[in-house]
Each structure stands twice: as C-alpha cells, then as structure tokens.
Amino acid sequence: MLSSNMKKALNDQINAELYSAYLYLSMAAYFEDTNLPGMAGWMKAQAQEEVGHAMKFYGYVFDRDSKVELKAIDGPKTKWASPLAAFEDAYKHEQKVTGLIHKLVDLANKEKDHATRSFLNWFVDEQVEEEASTKMIADRLKVIGDSKPGLFMLDRELAGRGSGGGE
C-alpha cells in the first residue's frame, strides 16, 4: 500500500497528465483553426499519449491497493500568437512535467518506496523524449521563420505521426 503522501502525489500526477492531454487537445484545436492539420494531428496524438500516461498512474495506484481520487481539470489556454508560440509552450509544459516527475522520484526515494521508484523510471526516460521532440519542432519553426512553404512542409511532415511516422 502507498503512504498517504505518495498516494496524494500520484493522484496529483494523474490530474497533471490529464491536464496535459487537455492542453494538447486545445493546441490541436488551435492548429485546426489555422489550417495546419499535420500539427493538429501531432497534438491530438500527443493528447492521446498523455491520457495513456494518466492511465499508467491510475493502474499503478490501484495495483498498490490505494484509491484513485480524481479532481477537476483546469481549462487550458486556447490561443497562441503563432505555431512557434504553441510549440514553445508545449516545450515549457514538458519541462514542468519533468519537474513533477522528478519530485515524485525524490518522494519515492525519501520514503524508500522502491516499487514506486522503479515504476517512475519509465516516466523519467519518457520525459527526456517528450522534451526533445517538442524542442526540436520549436527549433525547426524558428529556422523556418516567416517561410509559408517551410511551415507547410513541416506541417506535412508532422502529419506522419498519426500514421506510424514521427515519434
């Protein structure tokens, strides 16, 4: 069974992962509105991935004979100044999530909860990938600058994520 501190922290992380999904779905809607379906698809895939992360935590809490306690999810931002601004926000958000995961690891270490520490290893590794992918796209958008053809080429490339390409 999880300690009360660990149970609360893991339930908070479920909420954070679901917020992440909500944020990426909001970004997808922004990209749909700006006629960038590839970026919208990339963000929808990202939203689904975040729901998957929440479900991993959800299952783990139950596996440890504890209770899942869902809370309200805050409404995410809905508008961005540009595709670059959206991907920069995604990168900053992933950095924030990395910090949350690291705090969970610190708590597991402090409480000598070896099972939770082992469970969290996957998320530590996943966050390296999450940060790298969002930063790479933001960096490419910086290189593209105001080039409409470049933007549409990147959009087409990102569309491949949902069909087995990309990440």
**Distance between CA atoms of residues 151 and 100, nearest Å:** 32
pLDDT of residue 163: 46
pTM: 0.93
**In which region does residue 83 sit, left (phi positive, over 0), alpha (psi from -120 to 50) or beta (all else)?**
alpha
Percentage of residues in the chain having pLDDT higher than 90: 95
**Distance between CA atoms of residues 119 and 142, nearest Å:** 36
pLDDT of residue 162: 55
Percentage of residues in the chain having pLDDT higher than 70: 96
pLDDT of residue 161: 74
pLDDT of residue 165: 37
Between 131 and 160, the more confident residue is 131
Q: Say whether pLDDT at 10 is over 90.
A: yes
CATH of residue 122's domain is 1.20.1260.10
Split into its structural domains, the chain has a count of 1
Domain containing 114: what range? 4-70+79-163
Mean pLDDT for 4-15 is 98
Share in percent of the chain as helix, strand, coil (round to 5): 80, 0, 20
* Average of per-residue pLDDT values in the chain: 95
**Distance between CA atoms of residues 44 and 161, nearest Å:** 10
Q: What is the pLDDT of residues 20-58, one digit of tens each?
A: 999 999 999 999 999 999 999 999 999 999 999 999 999
**Distance between CA atoms of residues 155 and 31, nearest Å:** 10
Q: What is the pLDDT of residues 100-128, one digit of tens each?
A: 999 999 999 999 999 999 999 999 999 99
- Beta strand extents in the chain (DSSP E only): none
Of 108, 16, 15, 21, the closest CA to residue 70 belongs to: 15
Q: Is the Cβ–Cβ distance between 54 and 18 less than 8 Å?
A: yes
- The CA distances from residue 165 to 53, 110, 122, in Å, are 20, 40, 22
Q: Say whether pLDDT at 159 is over 80.
A: yes
